[in-house]
Amino acid sequence: MAAAAGDGAVKPLQCAMKLANGAIELDTGNRPREAYTEYLRSIHYISQVLLEEVETTKEGGETVAPDTSKMLKLAEQCLERAQSTAAKLGKTYLKPAMPTAAPVPSPTSRHRRVYSDEGGKLSPFLPPEIFQKLQVVESQSSKKELTPLQEASLQNQKLKAAYEARMARLDPSQALQKTSLTLSLQRQVMENLVIAKAREETLRRKREERRLRLQEAADRRFCSQVALTPEEREQRALYAAILEYEQDHDWPKHWRAQLKKSPGDLSLVTSLVSHLLSVPDHPISQLLKKLQCAVYRALYPVVSRGAAGAASAPGCCSLSPDADGLRAPGSRRLRPSQSLYCVLSPAEPGPAPRPPDGPHGSPPTPPPHAGPPEGGAAGGPAGPASPLAHAPPGVQSRHSSFEDLEHFLATSEGWGRGRGRPPEPQASGVKTEPLSEQLKSAVKDIHNAIDRLLSLTLLAFEGLNAAASKDRCLACIEEPFFSPLWPLLLALYRSVHRLREAALSRSMELYRNAPPTAIGVPTKLLPRGLEATGAGAFPYCAAAQELGLLVLESCPQKKLECIVRVLRVICACAEGYCRAQEAASEARPQLGAAAIGADDLLPILSFVVLRSGLPQLVSECAALEEFIHEGYLIGEEGYCLTSLQSALSYVELLPRGALGK
């Protein structure tokens, strides 16, 4: 089927993919404005094409072109990305440096504005503290009951917004009024907080009593031992929190009963876990958020630094080409919403529920700042201390991201000098080595985080403990866990694999128009009259399109499925071409003649990789290899991933070895 679709009506999808890929490139290149335009262009193009398609086939019946669903999916993904880019833009446009009007302020931009002065200018990623807040805000919006402090925080946000609006209306000459406005805002905000804190205190005391009771119950469950590792202690605390949660909520009991009724039902597992993780105040979903934030906090400085290094290193495919222009320290200016940042922080609910020995002491602490972990990431080859294993309170500073940036630069330079190396970051060996060490530790943290989430989930719902349910449960946890982290994680992988990507992209440039036979694809597995096919359509382009969809997914499992589809499409295309040739030459069809083995698959896949034009596949695959389930390792998914990696290496090394040996 894919073979048939392979050559006919492929052009529009291909064009759409090209547009989308261009947009992604711009996006990762920290050019949100252009990226935004390109995303919209892709969507526009897709809807145009589909509209025409529908109109022309109106008389012909209800046939829907096979690519339509793919196109729609692509449009959907472009739209999603456009939304997040728009949010990013909303931030950027606030800066006086960008006087041009935002094309379409998204509905969320007003909201994100709040964090405008925290904009991570250096990299296209949000600084960790904002990432964390966004997550919290996200969960707040879906929550019915707010704690007093959260309520106060929301109130204060509104106050702040009103204040900003009034300030904007005031003439610069009315300085006195401005001051009084500011003072009154601060007073109101403080009052709100004081009241809220008092209410919170009362509530907390009541809860504490109950918590102690439940903690005892949890201890009984774990049949108390004398010596406890920190992990065990945390596990217990979390379990107690779950018990506490279940005192107030009935839904976990209903699910448990259902699990008991039909223990083998995997779809039940899926819906349970996704429900569990969508309830923002359940301890497990809070743990998920907390662990995500910790991973994000660990990755962010590394990626920012990596981007800075790449930007100043010549000849490297930089992650953020604009970084240089944004670094001028003289451009510091007054940020009106700075005060809000201070206002917001005490209200931050934080990664509750905190274990009694949790990292945060008193309630009104500023958010643990992402700043460079002094001794760790910036420190040296020892690698950063794992932020997940009972994160140290972090550097509790209130520097703006801007000062962080200066700090990053200073520490990384100092690091270079300290080791007696030339300060030029272009000596890539200097950069890459610690970077890969940091990648290793981040990967370890991610594995640990997932393990913890899984074991806690299994603890809370014992019915999930059978092997198949456990696997399903893991898959369900991974998707929400990875989705927000993948872009940043990939950025780290990309800076680690910078040189490989550069080599791959050189090959892609050099052999962009090489015919499939040059890569070793036998003619019997090519469509007849290949020369006649015009530009645009090429053999196996259905597979290349499928491969292009991989970069749009953000969950490892989905990406793996995409790779499997690529190989299946190749096999289907090959079979189609082969049968067509047999039919044309009236040869007797042999059993299994059309079934291709690795001897044919690998050259075809290499050709497809070449035509995909996506050098970042190297990094995607490296990340996938790390996070693929053990169970998939020797199965079809593992085979497909291995084949893709082989093809990538082969293409990467093409310029060195002669073609077609």
Partner 1 sequence: MAAAGSGGAAAGRAYSFKVVLLGEGCVGKTSLVLRYCENKFNDKHITTLQASFLTKKLNIGGKRVNLAIWDTAGQERFHALGPIYYRDSNGAILVYDITDEDSFQKVKNWVKELRKMLGNEICLCIVGNKIDLEKERHVSIQEAESYAESVGAKHYHTSAKQNKGIEELFLDLCKRMIETAQVDERAKGNGSSQPGATRRGVQIIDDEPQAQSGGGGCCSSG
Least distance to partner 1, CB of residue 533, Å: 24
Contact 481, 453 (CB under 8 A): yes
Concatenated DSSP letters of 281-322: TSHHHHHHHHHHHHHHHHHHHHHHHHHHHHHHSTTS--S-TT
Residue number with CB closer to partner 1 (162 or 653):
653
Q: Which stretch binds partner 1 (CB under 8 A): 11-19, 68-76, 319-327, 469-477?
A: 469-477
Does 229 engage in binding with partner 1 (CB under 8 A)?
Answer: no
- Contact between 589 and partner 1 by CB under 8 A: the answer reads no
The dihedral built from the CA positions of residue 576, 577, 583 and 584, taken in this order, carries a sign that is positive
Which C-beta is closer to partner 1: that of 60 or that of 264? Answer: 264
Task: For the segment 548-577, give every residue that binds partner 1 (CB under 8 A).
Answer: 561, 564-565, 567-568, 571-572, 574-575
Residue ranges in 492-521 that form contacts with partner 1 under rule CB under 8 A: 520
Q: For residues 95 and 98, what is the distance between their CA atoms, to the nearest angstrom?
A: 6
Give SS3 for 395: strand
Return phi, psi of residue 306, to 5°.
Answer: -60, -40
- How far apart CA 445 and CA 306 sit, in angstroms, is 19
Q: Residue 636 interacts with partner 1 (CB under 8 A)?
A: yes
Q: Which of residues 329-368 bind partner 1 (CB under 8 A)?
A: none
Q: How far is the CB of 59 from partner 1 (least distance, A)?
A: 34
Residues in contact with partner 1, counted by CB under 8 A, come to a total of 49
Q: Does 489 bind partner 1 (CB under 8 A)?
A: no
Specify the stretch interacting with partner 1 by CB under 8 A; choose among 61-69, 90-98, 151-159, 460-468. 460-468
- Whole-number Cα distances in Å, 355 to 89, 211, 241, 360: 38, 11, 9, 10
Q: Does 633 bind partner 1 (CB under 8 A)?
A: yes
CB 366 within 8 A of CB 389: no
Position 609, amino acid:
V
Q: Considering only 32-40, 418-426, 535-543, 623-631, which stretch makes contact with partner 1 by CB under 8 A?
A: 623-631
Q: Does 632 bind partner 1 (CB under 8 A)?
A: yes
Supply the minimum distance, in Å, between the C-beta of residue 89 and partner 1: 37
Any contact of residue 460 with partner 1 (CB under 8 A)?
A: no
The C-alpha atoms of residue 363 and residue 321 are separated, in whole angstroms, by: 41
477 near partner 1, judged by CB under 8 A: no
- Kindly list the distances between the CA atom of residue 360 and the CA atoms of 291, 391, 640, in Å, as whole numbers in the listed order: 15, 10, 46
Cα–Cα distances in Å, from 600 out to 172, 523, 547, 595, 607? 73, 11, 18, 10, 11
Closer of 5 and 602 to partner 1 (Cβ):
602
CA 84 to chain CA mean position, Å = 12
Contact flag: residue 231 with partner 1 (CB under 8 A): no
Stretch that binds partner 1, among 200-208, 374-382, 405-413, 461-469 (CB under 8 A): 461-469
Binding mask 251-290 for partner 1 (x = CB under 8 A): -------------x-x------------------------
Q: Residue type at 375? A: G
103: closest CA among 165, 42, 37, 44?
37
The yes or no reply on residue 598 touching partner 1 (CB under 8 A) is yes
Whether the CB-CB separation of 291 and 138 falls below 8 Å is answered with: no
Both tokens assigned to 367: 């958010």
| Listed ranges 63-71, 290-298, 388-396, 634-642: which one lies at the site for partner 1 (CB under 8 A) | 634-642
Q: Is residue 649 a contact residue for partner 1 (CB under 8 A)?
A: yes
Q: Please say whether the beta carbons of 371 and 404 come within 8 A.
A: yes
Residue numbers 418-447 binding partner 1 by CB under 8 A: none
Instruction: Quote the CA–CA distance of 211 and 83 in Å, as a whole number.
Output: 41
Q: In the range 601-620, which residues lie near partner 1 by CB under 8 A?
A: 601-603
Residues lying near partner 1 in the complex (CB under 8 A) are found at: 264, 266, 466-468, 470-471, 474, 520, 561, 564-565, 567-568, 571-572, 574-575, 592, 594-599, 601-603, 629-640, 642-643, 645-646, 649-650, 653, 657, 661
